[in-house]
Chains A and B, each alone.
Chain A
Amino acid sequence: QSVLTQPPSVSGAPGQRVTISCTGSSSNIGAGYDAHWYQQFPGTAPKLLIYGNSNRPSGVPDRFSGSKSGTSASLAITGLQAEDEADYFCQSYDSSLSTYVFGTGTKVTVL
């Protein structure tokens, strides 16, 4: 049911840079609605990681960054650390569905 598509998994060695894409459409990200990103560890609630496409809440390390272009948003993790191994979700608003929508989720594995 998710209208925001993410790769199921990405992986990288410690210290490397990984990116996660969030592909939407002309009724959500492409329409100009902002994207937010969340990090979720097993058994815990999601945590807001990036808001307004590229802004970090207080306490989020600067190795996490976000961007948006066209109908997609992206999350980058530079200097990958073992503690970054988690699931990541994007979120936006869809004007056709008249609802907030989430991405399909991406599992990040640190090799």
Chain B
Amino acid sequence: QVQLQQWGAGLLKPSETLSLTCAVNGGSFRGFYWTWIRQSPGKGLEWIGEINHKGTTKYSPSLESRVTISVDTSKNQFSLNLSSVTAADTALYYCARGDPIIGVIMTVDAFDIWGQGTMVTVSS
């Protein structure tokens, strides 16, 4: 039974860097895309980016200039860094496992396992 456990700072000041880590317990790291998603009342669910076991990343174009996702396969962990945060980055952040579902046109990840979520508040 794969489980994701995430942690990181929950209160930041504007311009600081958000840092979260997610540990993958009980399953293989290979074959999946390790993903960060955030949820806020104003924007709903928003995909931030993903990484595979090789370290290949994809980011949301709207956040790409501020986002870094990294992986530590020796610890089965992956991390999110989001720089220069503002109040607009206040949200509940989730890590998730992206399972590539092969479709007619292309593979569309389905997020089948989620972490417990970390509420991040940006306030001066």
A residues lining the B interface (CB < 8 Å): 1-2, 31-34, 36, 38, 45-48, 51-52, 57, 89, 91-93, 97-105
Contacts and interface: CB of A to CB of B under 8 A. Distances in A.
A61 to B, nearest CB: 17
Contacts of B46: 1, 102
B106 A93 contact: yes
B105 interface: yes
A32 B45 contact: no
A91 B104 contact: no
Interface of B: 43-47, 60-62, 94, 96, 99, 101, 103-106, 108-112, 114-117
B101 A36 contact: yes
Contacts of A104: 44
24 contacts: A2-B43, A2-B45, A32-B104, A33-B103, A34-B104, A36-B101, A45-B115, A45-B117, A46-B111, A46-B114, A48-B110, A51-B101, A51-B110, A51-B112, A89-B45, A91-B45, A91-B110, A93-B106, A93-B108, A99-B60, A99-B61, A100-B108, A100-B109, A102-B46
B103 A34 contact: yes
